[in-house]
Amino acid sequence: MKVLFIGDVVGSPGRQGLREAMPALRERHGPDLVIVNGENSAGGVGITERTANDFFDLGVDVITTGNHVYRHREAYEFLDSEQRVIRPANYPQANPGRGHTVVEVDGMRVRVVNLSGAVGLRVARSPFDTVDSILSHHEQDAVIVDFHAEVTSEKVAMGWHLDGRVAAVLGTHTHVPTADGRVLPGGTAFISDVGMTGSRTSVLGVKPEQALRSLITHMPTRFETAEDDVWVMGGLVEVNQQGLADSFEQVMQPVQ
């Protein structure tokens, strides 16, 4: 089973770029399961029912999110009702949405888990304790984890913590692809961050001049999504019948 995981899609340029790139991605990689992180899909911050449906129209199977998931209040009811969209499992349990979901792929029950890092981000529970609880209380044939975290040390630690127990731990949130993608000794595919799907002529998806103005002046600045030089970034994991990874391939494709 091949799992194509796409990193943080930023705004309409990211959504349009993924739309244009998806036929070539499917032809080249032949994925059986497509997962997209969509927490920046609505105007560069948050997710809405409309932007989620854009992904579903492309054949995306599961959408993960992160710390901006609740930016648009009108999405709360949708998060409760749509089982294919998940938010960090270590958020307060009463919050809208769910932290993991199961999809059937080639006769395998694949659980997709969304976690938030605790270092530099607000969570209700430890991501380590949360994922341990999920794995011990649910049955599945394979598990894919989107770890939406701020610091690489916490991400690397999660990879080692879950090595041999899940098929993949794929980092998101920082929007910059890292060079540590591999399959760990126990059979878990890992990368600290798969990168973002959006403009590379930007500061993490924001127009450079606006990000610079904010950083230099420390004054409130309205951010707009950058549009030039859009790339699709992510990772491809080949999962075997034992629910572990045979291979990991980094995906970095410019949109022509």
Q: Which of the residues are catalytic?
A: 68
d(CA 98, CA 135): 15
H/E run at residue 130: helix 127-137
What type of residue is 221? T
C-alpha to C-alpha distances, 57 to 6, 15, 67, 77, 153, nearest whole angstrom: 15, 11, 24, 20, 36
d(CA 45, CA 70): 9
* Residue for token pair 């591999």: 182
Contact (CB, 8 A) for 223 and 198? no
> Which of 89, 80, 79 lies closest to 111 in space, CA to CA?
89
Q: Which ranges in 30-119 belong to alpha helices (H)?
A: 49-57, 76-81
Contact (CB, 8 A) for 159 and 190? yes
